[in-house]
Each structure stands twice: as structure tokens, then as C-alpha cells.
Chains A and B, each alone.
Chain A
Amino acid sequence: QVQLQESGPGLVKPSETLSLTCTVSGVSITSYYWSWIWQPPGKGLEWIGYFYYSGTTNYNPSLKSRVTISVDTSKNQFSLRLSSVTAADTAIYYCARHNSYNYEGLDYWGQGTLVTVSS
């Protein structure tokens, strides 16, 4: 059974760096592409970026200057760092698995974690 679980602080101060981790169980993260997606309250889904364990990463151009996705294969985890956050970064953050390649659908999702940016 494939499961994804996001973890990290639920509250981040403006100008600081948001850090989240996605822990994957039931499958090796070396076998698929993985993405982070966010959803501001009451709004739609937006892709943040994806990675493949070999080092391939790509980010949404609108966030590229502030985003880093990294992977820890020993822990079967991958992480998101978003720097210089503002209130506009308040959102539910999801991690998800692509069904094989980066252009395939996202077949497994974490439950999502709400991150609020506020002082």
C-alpha cells in the first residue's frame, strides 16, 4: 500500500523559509517521479515542482527562484524548501507520485498539510 505523509511546521513567519518533508511508504522513491503541489485556501491546485531521484528536478517558473526540492533515498523521503515566504504562500501543501514519468497523472497523494505564513 503506497502512502505519502507530509510533515513540517504549520506556521512560518514572513521572510523565513518554509520546509516540508514527504515520507513515502510502500514503494521506493527511486522508481517514480514525485511532485509538490499547493492549494491556497479556497483556490485551485498549482504545481510547485517535481524530481526524479537521479537528480532531475524542475520547478514552476513562478516559484523557481525560491524553491528547492531535495531527496533522501535512505529515508525514502523528499523535501520542499520555499524561501522568503509571504502571506501569499499560505496554502495546503501536497506531495504526490506520478504514475511513472513526469507527464503522467498523480496517482497517490498525501493528505496535505496547511502552512500559514504569519507573524
Chain B
Amino acid sequence: QSVLTQPPSVSGAPGQRVTISCTGSSSNIGAYYDVHWYQQLPGTAPKLLMYRNKNRPSGVPDRFSGSKSGTSASLAITGLQAEDEADYYCQSYDTSLSGVVFGGGTKLTVL
């Protein structure tokens, strides 16, 4: 049972827009800690995709965007491409645990 809750899977056709939600609580996202997102392609290490809620590291296409409100955050992917098929994880910090927390991960399937 992950501290942050994500849908297990989402899917979309090429060119479409999908969103992945990440729900936390008052001890993490709601405590004003930022949310970060990772993309994990099959057989590879996770890669930082979005940091501090809505900032893209260099090299990440602007098709990816992030937002945060209250105790939740979202990752949106527009213009879906086959190469976006991967697992996506959200991450924040939890004051109760005094540590890093991850969502359970969302598998994105490009139809």
C-alpha cells in the first residue's frame, strides 16, 4: 500500500492526451512538499521527468506537463507517442515518515 495513490493503468491512442493523478494527504503533498514524476521504460532505471510539480528537466519534451493542487498532483501527456509507453511514478516527501514516498506507479499503454 503506497502512501501516494496512482491509478494502476491508463491508456490512450497516439496523438491523444492522458493524465495521471497522484493523491496524497496532509502529511505530504498537502504539507506543501513538491511532487516529482519519473518515467521508467521497460528494463531501465527511472528517469526524472518533472520536478517541483511543474518543471521539466532539460531534454524532456513540452508534451509533458505537471500540476499540483491541495493534496493531489497530476501529470499530463499530450500528443501521445508510442515511445511514451512506460511506467510513471510520482514522489514526494512525508513529514510523518520523515522520508521519501512514492506512488504505486501507473502503466501507460499507447493503443
Contact = CB atoms under 8 A, between A and B. Distances in A.
Interface in B1-25: 2
A47 B46 contact: no
Interface string B45-64: 11110011000010000000
Contact of B46 (A45, A50, A99, A103): A45
Contact of B100 (A102, A109, A110, A112): A102
Nearest to A59: B99
Interface string A49-73: 1100000001111000000000000
B68 interface: no
Main secondary structure of the interface of B (DSSP, over half): strand
B34 interface: yes
A90 interface: no
B34 A47 contact: no
A109 B36 contact: no
Given A59-B99, A60-B97, A103-B33, A45 B89 contact: yes
Interface residues of B, number: 28
A105 B91 contact: yes
A90 B32 CA distance: 34
B111 to A, nearest CB: 22
Nearest to A94: B45
Interface of A: 35, 37, 44-47, 49-50, 58-61, 94, 99, 102-107, 109-112
26 contacts: A37-B100, A44-B2, A44-B87, A44-B104, A44-B105, A45-B38, A45-B91, A50-B100, A58-B99, A60-B97, A60-B99, A61-B99, A102-B93, A103-B92, A104-B36, A104-B52, A105-B36, A105-B48, A105-B52, A106-B36, A106-B46, A107-B51, A107-B57, A110-B45, A111-B45, A112-B45
